[in-house]
């Protein structure tokens, strides 16, 4: 019998009524397969506030964290701060061995110039180039010899031209025109997406400046790589024209400057029998480890709780100016003091705190989502998506049971009332987002299409490692800004109202997916390209 009915009857008798009215039955409790009510979901979402995100961001983007490089003491402190809060809120540990963390190894490599080379074999006439002062490298340094036919690109070539090419099995020699720096960047990105054997960029920039760049690369801190995992990046070499001065076969080479000046795209294969080879060798000079933080809210539906929705964001940044490969740029304050600590308040302190705040909102629902939800803070994103790659290859829950990944990376800057959501065209999660946005006009936030298609952002954050495993994804991203990878990416510039509203929208999206019986579905063409062929989706530029 309901205690409230007894109390009501006793009150009537005490007031002298001869009888008590028939009590109204209490509402029937919701079944586990129904999830939380709309009111409960909105109450949990509204717990994500500007004041809270400001307080939390001020912790992880403080100078004391040293820029959260991977690896570093500041990164470890950030990971512990997140885990401590998840524990306090009642989330479950979902890392390794029943704990909050998943750790992966990082090796530090230094280029071995003496064992590295670029070589062209023209029917027995060998042009052999060593990596002295005229070569800069990026990508894997495995010591594997890469060989293929040589394809030359130059002139007025664009990324759209590259999209039409098949460079499978080719080493591409991209003869760059220094007067077209933006186009050069886009062409290189498009080439990476096409997955050639390797890319060789031939440049004609100032010789002294290039030599200084080579020296800086050689003397920089060793390059970190994810140990024991395949390095799927494309080897890229940047060669200066000066390296060709000692080429014994230079009389057979094209006129490089004439190619650069061509007003039309230049695409030509080297003559039959001409092959190129590249070897980028290194030595291991150190080893360390880095953490991912993995927490879970267990679902309530017996039929769906063994499926998972993932909220992800990277907690690392790039450390301090001069701190390893890919470090940040210092900032000179108005008082002429120099700030060298790159706090990464937006990149990706904002996304980290967005995910953290979503975790607290999830805790308030007390497990009333049909599917389980994983809260994942990865590291090593700035080094090459290392943490998410490791999780994707060594998931702490079955990857086949992950139905969606919602990734937050840089969500606190730029347009105050809109956030770009990348990947909507690749699955029906875009339709779900539109429905969620329409249901929450109070957020006054628009989830817009990708407005930078030529930047290939779809492949440049942690969601991409989930997508390659067949998981539909969406990526919330506000775009770059003048403080990107600079020491002045600081908390004071963050729009905490926007950050909190983006986190709320992502929260509501995740809850919608967690409570809907049907799983998100891929666009078949995108699935073929991204999952089956393991390629970056082609750049699509919409006409005005």
Does the structure show a pLDDT above 90 at 476?
A: yes
What pLDDT was estimated at residue 331?
85
CATH 3.30.70.890 corresponds to the domain 45-108+286-532: no
pLDDT, tens only, 251-264: 888 999 999 999 99
Does the structure show a pLDDT above 70 at 493?
A: yes
DSSP string of 275-324?
EEEEE--EEEEEEEEEEEEEEEE--S-TTTTTSEEEEEEE-----BTTSS
Biggest alpha carbon distance in the chain? 116
With beta carbons less than 8 A apart as the criterion, state whether 60 and 344 touch: no
pLDDT, tens only, 160-204: 999 999 999 999 999 999 999 999 999 999 999 899 999 999 999
Query: Is the dihedral angle over the CA atoms 201, 205, 211, 212 positive or is it negative?
Result: negative
Token reading at 177 = 């025109």
> Which percentage of the chain shows pLDDT scores above 70?
92
pLDDT, tens only, 405-416: 999 999 999 999
Nearest-angstrom CA–CA distance, 434 and 456: 23
Token reading at 429 = 């999660």
Query: Is the dihedral angle over the CA atoms 422, 427, 430, 432 positive or is it negative?
Result: negative
What pLDDT was estimated at residue 30?
59
Nearest-angstrom CA–CA distance, 226 and 103: 11
pLDDT, tens only, 23-38: 444 444 556 667 799 9
Please provide the average confidence, as pLDDT, over all residues in the chain: 91
Helix (H, G, I), strand (E, B) or coil at 169: coil
Nearest-angstrom CA–CA distance, 380 and 99: 20
pLDDT, tens only, 193-246: 899 999 999 999 999 999 999 988 888 778 888 998 888 889 999 999 999 888
Does the structure show a pLDDT above 80 at 124?
A: yes
What pLDDT was estimated at residue 7?
37
With beta carbons less than 8 A apart as the criterion, state whether 296 and 125 touch: no
Sketch the domain layout of the chain as residue ranges: 45-108+286-532, 113-280
Nearest-angstrom CA–CA distance, 388 and 400: 16
pLDDT, tens only, 290-346: 999 999 999 999 999 999 999 999 999 999 987 655 578 888 888 888 999 999 999
What's the pTM value of the predicted model, to 2 decimals? 0.86
What pLDDT was estimated at residue 174?
98
With beta carbons less than 8 A apart as the criterion, state whether 225 and 325 touch: no
For 6, phi then psi, to 5°, come to -60, -45
CATH 3.40.50.300 corresponds to the domain 113-280: no
Does the structure show a pLDDT above 90 at 473?
A: yes
Question: Can you point out the beta strands (E) in 133-206?
Answer: 135-138, 145-155, 170-175, 198-203
Token reading at 329 = 């740029």
* Centroid of chain to Cα 382: 8
pLDDT, tens only, 525-537: 999 999 999 988 8
Specify the pairing of strand 101-111 against strand 223-226.
antiparallel
Q: How many residues does the chain have?
A: 544
pLDDT, tens only, 57-111: 999 999 999 999 999 999 999 999 999 999 999 999 999 999 999 999 999 999 9
pLDDT, tens only, 412-442: 999 999 999 999 999 999 999 999 999 999 9
DSSP 261: T
Give me the mean pLDDT over the 120-145 stretch: 92
Split at pLDDT 50, 70, 90, the class of 542 is low
Give 200's strand partners. 173, 237
| Structure-token match 């009915």, residue found | 5
What pLDDT was estimated at residue 249?
87
């Amino acid at each position: 019998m309901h205690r409230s009915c007894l109390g009501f009857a006793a009150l009537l008798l005490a007031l002298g009524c001869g009888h008590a009215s028939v009590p109204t039955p209490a509402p029937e409790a919701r079944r586990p397969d129904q999830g939380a009510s709309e009111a409960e979901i909105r109450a949990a979402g509204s717990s994500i506030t500007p004041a809270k995100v400001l307080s939390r961001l001020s912790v992880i983007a403080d100078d004391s964290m040293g820029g959260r490089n991977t690896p570093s003491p500041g990164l470890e402190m950030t990971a512990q701060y997140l885990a401590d809060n998840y524990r306090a809120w009642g989330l479950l540990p979902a890392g390794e061995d029943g704990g909050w963390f998943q750790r992966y190894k990082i090796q530090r490599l230094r280029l071995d110039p003496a064992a590295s080379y670029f070589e062209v074999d023209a029917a027995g006439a060998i042009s052999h180039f060593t990596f002295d002062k005229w070569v800069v490298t990026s990508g894997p340094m495995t010591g594997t010899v890469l060989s293929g036919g040589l394809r030359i690109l130059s002139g007025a070539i664009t990324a759209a031209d590259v999209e039409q090419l098949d460079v499978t099995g080719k080493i591409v020699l991209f003869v760059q025109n220094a007067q077209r720096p933006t186009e050069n960047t886009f062409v290189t990105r498009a080439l990476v997406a096409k997955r050639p054997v390797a890319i060789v960029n031939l440049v004609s920039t100032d010789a002294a400046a290039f030599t200084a760049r080579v020296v800086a690369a050689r003397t920089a801190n060793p390059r970190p790589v994810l140990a024991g995992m395949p390095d799927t990046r494309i080897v890229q070499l940047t060669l200066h024209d000066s390296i060709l001065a000692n080429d014994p076969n230079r009389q057979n080479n094209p006129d490089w400057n004439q190619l650069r000046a061509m007003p039309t795209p230049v695409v030509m294969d080297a003559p039959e029998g001409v092959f190129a080879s590249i070897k980028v060798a290194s030595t291991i000079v150190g080893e360390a480890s880095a953490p991912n933080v993995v927490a879970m809210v267990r679902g309530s539906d017996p039929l769906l709780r063994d499926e998972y929705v993932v909220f992800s964001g990277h907690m690392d940044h790039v450390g301090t100016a001069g701190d390893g490969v890919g470090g940040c740029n210092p900032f000179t304050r108005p008082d002429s003091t120099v700030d060298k600590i790159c706090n990464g308040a937006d990149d990706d302190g904002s996304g980290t705190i967005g995910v953290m705040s979503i975790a607290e909102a999830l805790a308030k629902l007390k497990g009333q989502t049909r599917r389980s939800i994983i809260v994942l803070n990865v590291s090593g994103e700035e080094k090459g998506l290392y943490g998410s790659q490791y999780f994707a290859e060594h998931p702490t829950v079955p990857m086949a049971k992950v139905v969606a990944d919602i990734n937050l990376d840089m969500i606190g800057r730029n347009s105050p009332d809109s956030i770009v959501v990348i990947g909507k065209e690749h699955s029906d999660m875009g339709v779900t987002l539109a429905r969620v946005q329409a249901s929450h006009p109070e957020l006054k936030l628009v989830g817009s299409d990708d407005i930078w298609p030529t930047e290939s952002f779809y492949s440049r954050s942690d969601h991409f490692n989930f997508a390659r495993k067949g998981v539909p994804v969406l990526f919330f991203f506000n775009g770059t800004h003048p403080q990107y990878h600079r020491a002045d990416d600081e908390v004071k510039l963050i729009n905490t109202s926007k950050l909190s509203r983006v986190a709320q929208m992502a929260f509501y999206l995740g809850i919608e997916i967690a409570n809907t019986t049907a799983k998100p579905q891929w666009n078949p063409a995108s699935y073929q390209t991204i999952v089956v062929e393991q390629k970056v989706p082609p750049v699509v530029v919409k006409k005005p």
